[in-house]
Amino acid sequence: MIIVLKADVKEEAIEKLIDKISGQGLIVHDIKRGGVGRMLGLVGDIPQALEDSLDRVDIVESVLKVREPYKLSGRRFHPEDTVVSVGDAKIGGGNFAVIAGPCSVESEEQILSIARDISNSGAKFLRGGAFKPRTSPYSFHGLGLDGLELLKIAKQKTNLPIVTEILSQEHLENFAEDVDIIQIGARNMQNFTLLREVGSLKKPVLLKRGLSSTLEELLMAAEYVINGGSDQVILCERGIRTFETSTRNTLDLSAVPVLKQKSHLPVIVDPSHGTGYWYLVEPLSLAAVAVGADGLIIEVHNMPQNALCDGQQSITPEVFHHLMKRIKRVYEAVHEMK
Amino acid sequence: MIIVLKADVKEEAIEKLIDKISGQGLIVHDIKRGGVGRMLGLVGDIPQALEDSLDRVDIVESVLKVREPYKLSGRRFHPEDTVVSVGDAKIGGGNFAVIAGPCSVESEEQILSIARDISNSGAKFLRGGAFKPRTSPYSFHGLGLDGLELLKIAKQKTNLPIVTEILSQEHLENFAEDVDIIQIGARNMQNFTLLREVGSLKKPVLLKRGLSSTLEELLMAAEYVINGGSDQVILCERGIRTFETSTRNTLDLSAVPVLKQKSHLPVIVDPSHGTGYWYLVEPLSLAAVAVGADGLIIEVHNMPQNALCDGQQSITPEVFHHLMKRIKRVYEAVHEMK
Amino acid sequence: MIIVLKADVKEEAIEKLIDKISGQGLIVHDIKRGGVGRMLGLVGDIPQALEDSLDRVDIVESVLKVREPYKLSGRRFHPEDTVVSVGDAKIGGGNFAVIAGPCSVESEEQILSIARDISNSGAKFLRGGAFKPRTSPYSFHGLGLDGLELLKIAKQKTNLPIVTEILSQEHLENFAEDVDIIQIGARNMQNFTLLREVGSLKKPVLLKRGLSSTLEELLMAAEYVINGGSDQVILCERGIRTFETSTRNTLDLSAVPVLKQKSHLPVIVDPSHGTGYWYLVEPLSLAAVAVGADGLIIEVHNMPQNALCDGQQSITPEVFHHLMKRIKRVYEAVHEMK
Amino acid sequence: MIIVLKADVKEEAIEKLIDKISGQGLIVHDIKRGGVGRMLGLVGDIPQALEDSLDRVDIVESVLKVREPYKLSGRRFHPEDTVVSVGDAKIGGGNFAVIAGPCSVESEEQILSIARDISNSGAKFLRGGAFKPRTSPYSFHGLGLDGLELLKIAKQKTNLPIVTEILSQEHLENFAEDVDIIQIGARNMQNFTLLREVGSLKKPVLLKRGLSSTLEELLMAAEYVINGGSDQVILCERGIRTFETSTRNTLDLSAVPVLKQKSHLPVIVDPSHGTGYWYLVEPLSLAAVAVGADGLIIEVHNMPQNALCDGQQSITPEVFHHLMKRIKRVYEAVHEMK
């Protein structure tokens, strides 16, 4: 880390700062080369509290961070790709996988029918909401624990591992037991208590990017989960909030190669929430494959017009079946010659 | 609610839709006046689930909502201003109040010193973080329950009611007992479980706008709290995330009159987080007073350069003292002739 | 168009409004069906000035526009795809084409070398800036008319039609004579005078989306060009401004299928400006192909590290050559089974 | 300027870079202090082209700019406030002034009536659009040169200097002769040709911030005008584009103190375009005064409901009269004790 000092700072104040820093076990290089201003170079393992406080010191002009703030989720000390696996199903490190299912679990018949269909089409994981975060307290909030039970039945019949969202710490035990990949939704990406506790379960975690979170903040959220105990984290781009209103969110596909460069974690894309319209799911799924995503999470509903939530962005099993074939073709085209 | 149907829709499909709606106890007016397309007018108390599903029905072109989606937090059925009170201290309905204190409670000496200073300058409430949400798992996260104890001591000595942020349901009991106004931070504005549980304590709640939340979403979050049990909710504008980088956030002062028109709840402004720089706290505080805010929440620290968090945006007790005098003058100027 | 009136409006005021509207040759349906409020349905060709004024009339609650505001650029009255052609080179309606070249023309040697390379790799058009819009008045602003001359030489030698940006009306004549596709840059997307005058040249126009323009505004800008005289307009998604800073802009690939649904004009993507980093050009180019774009515009420079502008986002002719092969593979995979 | 080099860079490459830089007349300090990486410190007047190219050099990790990119518009070399004056009317350097008038000039009767009213209420300048930029080619675009004539008549009768927007270079002569302050609108803030040519007229210029322009970009646009010849530039905050839809734009009042710290130019606020609703003009005007603006530009129309543009955000002369009294009171309260 390099600290650039303001012009005309008193020698006394500089010495006080150097003392403060070296008092924490760091080596400080005092760089006085004329013309470009006085700088301090810091060597050693910089405590976060010190780092947080430096740009508030009044003699400091600016602080140049040479290192990114994430460690466990970054590639620097973990160059090889992480592979997240549940049984035979894998995501990351060359393993491409599609997660599919309805926005919310509505009935045994519904979830079973969809699970069978998507499995036949080649999906590797079943998604389905049991606990649903909704903007209105008067909207449908999911079947709760009953929904989890229905997901378990669907898993028994189809062998598809389950992906579902946790909303509250009170359900940690249930999720630990019944859920294969625990999803943390966009609205909870900075619910740090939840991140840490879910991490402590040491299970695979699907972490969605917040609506207005930078990629660095997403990696810091992953850092909480890994620091909490689980290194099986999947990152998910699901659209950010912008001024554009013709789509529900703006799907940021550049996020995929940027995240994969900075991090070893698998990166998947959610074209359903990312666009908000079923007719955009197909083109954006193919684009996500082409941009290098490790997987997709897609909303599929057998009767979208009657869905209890987000029907507008769900595709039917028939459309999904056709899409899976196209995904396969594009995936091959992209990966046969890198 | 008015439903505009697509052109050339089959009579059969329309009748099916009318049956579905009237089956839920609503009166449906079938409006066929030539030239402007077929419309359905719905009268009665529309269930949220029905409302959520209508724009996904394939024969529907668009849905015109005549009513806003919030009820308890809106002015329509509650025209008079809500006043939030803790003992003699009041916010809203003509009562202007300033909440002040450090970003985080650091020691008994620190919090006592600041509390006395701000009380002398005219602040009505003491803020101070015991549990701090931080982007990095390696940053200082507050003193936790020890911090709450220090806040209680400061309250005993100064009589200032306490405002502090809750991060997790596990501390609900502690907050119920010790805290006067429970703050829900920007990152948790859509942590619906927390909103509801905090509401159930039936205590005053300070609800901060999320970084990328619309005003309608803020009012829906308040709806969760009120629906949970507490009608003593204070709304807080604290800056939104935009492309501009010369301030930490973009403080949206138009939000104040818009919220006050739509809602009966008091609205306060946080110029410290809203701008991120101490030198902007003074002008933006005055602007918040002039725009009609019911109060302010300001970060004050006795030694900002040593603060364990957010020192860059904290002002000293001396600056705060001077600011309080200017706030009083501007408040009088704004309110003497409306 | 449907006008929803406020509650408790005086009959007199409504009649005055109806008179005003019907005075402009429109038929007004007065819809009084109880319970859903009073509405007026307007039939006929609504003058824009009337449309603009209606939502300011004090008895009006809201206005429901049934039609989009663009006419010439929309698909409603022009269902078949527009194909833009220059000699044998075509874009749109099933014709995929790549435009490539340096950010700015620097010398005869440079532009000739790049033009030959990209032509050999399969590019159909040569881009190169002669007039450069730059944030700073002290930056390099292009070679101007000399740059146009160099582009003409490159065209003579390679047969590639020329695409270059116009910044000012004073160069209209030069562009009319020498340029094959006239580019209107993002910063000028709402320079309405320029849009109209360039349209009047009746030549192909490449219209870039503004940094914070909605898709509707982009189509309205195209409407100006077409209204001005040219129906050969290519729309270009080149990234929008958001809070994310790890890329120069946020490339909005959903814009492609949305625009192609609403409009008959060809839509291309600029992954160079859209991301700002050369290493992101390849994955985002493939994604643009997969999402259904009609073409790409890519910055290629023989010595990016010495480029006089935007070298950071330029790829070398070698990388471009390899990319063109991958684009072909992905294009085939996407289009062989729709 | 400090250049931080990547780790493990070859000595040869570094020397090549040092040669390149010193070849342009700069002194280069090679800083090799162990542990913090190799850095180059540059002393001297750095050519913009060199600065633009440095972060693309492949051995460069990052570039630390010690100086802001604007020179003429910045406070560094021009610490005292600029005062813009037209006859006796002044803005800046302690002179507060209000510019008022209709969105567009519609008739002699209209502009005269409004001009007299606002003059009586204390406005110092008359605004009125003759050339209007409109999103749709079918909307009313102003009376053009006839509108300028009407403004001149209003000026003769009221003595108020005229502020009006220029859209195209072809009217430069007319504006040079008849207009006192030439406005450059938000959509043209980066129309660099226009900026430079308007600057060359050496008249006062009112420069509006673009919808998605950073404050640095606004100051760079002012740099173009000053570099073109006029140092009489007024900066105007008029709302930026964000995700919030309850106001037309998000008025960024923090921009005022930030701009005044960085620049010597006067800063005014447009609460009419900034909010889009007449009922928000009053509170946001007062807030702008409190935050330290040097003036306001407000839309006033004698019959807002019949206005040919933007009636929804215009206030009546009566409301304006009352507002001016409140502005005076708040201004005194803010400035009597700084």
Q: Would you state the pLDDT for residue A295?
A: 98
More confident residue, A207 or A46: A207
| Mean pLDDT, all residues of chain B | 92
Beta-carbon contacts of residue A119 (< 8 Å; ≥ 6 apart): A126, A158, A159, A160
Chain B nearest-CA distance from C252, in A, is 16
Rounded average pLDDT over C21-46: 74
pLDDT of residue C67: 67
Chain A nearest-CA distance from D281, in A, is 23
Residue C190 and residue D133: Cβ atoms within 8 Å? yes
Mean pLDDT of chain A: 92
Whether pLDDT at C118 is above 80? yes
Which site among D216, D253, D319 would you substitute to test the B interface, given the most B Cβ atoms closer than 10 Å to its Cβ?
A: D253
What percentage of residues in chain B have a pLDDT greater than 90? 71
Among all residues of chain B, which has the CA nearest to that of C6? B66
Q: Among B51-65, C224-238, D199-213, D264-278, whose mean pLDDT is lowest?
A: B51-65
pLDDT top residue among A48 and A319: A319
Is C325's pLDDT higher than 90? yes
The pLDDT-based confidence of D276 (bands split at 50, 70, 90) is very high
D48 and C136 within 8 Å at the Cβ level: the answer is: yes
Contact D166, D183 (CB under 8 A): yes
Residues from chain A contacting residue B56 (CB–CB below 8 Å): 304-305, 307, 311-312
Over range B95-112, report the average pLDDT.
97
SS3 category, B70:
coil
The whole-number pLDDT of residue B145 equals 96
Mean pLDDT across chain D, nearest whole number?
A: 92
Please check whether residue D178 is in contact with residue D148, taking contact to mean a CB–CB distance below 8 angstroms: yes
DSSP-derived secondary structure for B179-198: -SEEEE-GGGTT-HHHHHHH
Please name the member of A254, A261, A290 whose beta carbon is closest to the beta carbon of C290: A290
Has residue C225 got a pLDDT over 70?
yes
Question: By the 8 A CB rule, do B290 and D330 touch?
Answer: yes
Residue D289, pLDDT > 80, answer yes
How far apart, in whole angstroms, are the C-alpha atoms of residue A241 and residue A209? 11
- Among all chains, which residue has been given the structure tokens 């349905």? C41
Query: Which of C254, C290, C292 shows the shortest C-beta gap to A250?
Result: C254
pLDDT at C267 > cutoff 90: yes
Amino acid at D84: V
Distance in angstroms (rounded) separating the CA atoms of residues A206 and A234: 5
**Backbone phi, psi, residue C31, to 5°:** -105, 110
Each residue's pLDDT tens digit, A104-151: 999 999 999 999 999 999 999 999 999 999 988 888 899 999 999 999
B-C interface: how many C-beta pairs under 8 angstroms?
Answer: 57
Chains A, B: CB contacts under 8 A, how many?
Answer: 107
pTM of the full structure: 0.91
Q: How close does chain C come to B245, measured CA to CA in Å?
A: 9
Q: Is the dihedral of CA A6, A12, A16, A22 positive or negative?
A: positive
Judge residue D50's burial from the number of C-beta atoms within 10 Å of its C-beta, 0-12 exposed, 13-18 middle, 19 or more buried: middle
Distance between B136 CA and the closest CA of chain A, angstroms:
6
Decide if pLDDT at B34 tops 80.
Answer: no
Least confident of A73-82, C162-171, C292-301, D11-20: D11-20
Partners of C29 on chain B (C-beta within 8 Å) are 33-36
Q: Which residues contact A246 (CB under 8 A, 6 or more apart)?
A: C214, C215, C216, C258
pLDDT at B107 over 90: yes
- The DSSP element (H or E) to which B156 belongs, if any, is helix B145-158
What local confidence, expressed as pLDDT, does residue C5 receive?
Answer: 84
- ipTM score for this prediction: 0.90
Report the residue from B55, B134, B220 with minimal CB separation from A312: B55
Structure tokens at A13: 């104040």
Among A61-65, A213-217, D78-82, D217-221, the range scoring the smallest mean pLDDT is A61-65
Q: Residue B4: pLDDT above 70?
A: yes
| pLDDT tens digits, B76-85 | 889 999 999 9
CA D34 – CA D113 distance, rounded (Å): 74
Which pLDDT band, with edges at 50, 70 and 90, does D338 fall under? low
Q: In the prediction, which pLDDT does A338 show? A: 67
Nearest by CB to B329, from D288, D289, D337: name it.
D337
> With an 8 Å Cβ cutoff, are A333 and C332 in contact?
yes
Cβ-nearest to C287 among A214, A245, A291: A291
Residue D252, beta-bridge partner list? B252
Residue D298 in contact with residue D281, Cβ under 8 Å? yes
Task: Report the 3 state secondary structure along A145-186.
Answer: HHHHHHHHHHHHHHCCCEEEECCCHHHHHHHHHHCCEEEECH
Per the CB < 8 A criterion, the answer to whether D181 and D128 are in contact is: no
Interface residue of A168, A217, A230 to substitute, partner B, most B CBs within 10 Å: A168
What is the predicted pLDDT for the residue at A6? 81
> Which stretches of B229-270 are DSSP H helices?
255-262
Show residues of chain B in contact with A58, CB under 8 Å: 305
* Interface touch D37/A242, C-beta < 8 Å: no
Give A71 or D146, the one with higher predicted confidence: D146
Q: What is the dihedral of CA D90, D96, D102, D105, to 10 degrees?
A: 0
Residues of chain D neighbouring A246 (CB-CB closer than 8 A): none
Domains and CATH numbers, chain C: 2-64 (3.30.70.1140), 84-337 (3.20.20.70)
CB contact under 8 Å between C291 and A274, yes or no, is no
Closest in A212, A214, A287 to C253, CB measured: A287
Residues of chain A neighbouring B57 (CB-CB closer than 8 A): 305
Average pLDDT for D41-56: 76
| Mean pLDDT to the nearest integer, A223-248 | 96
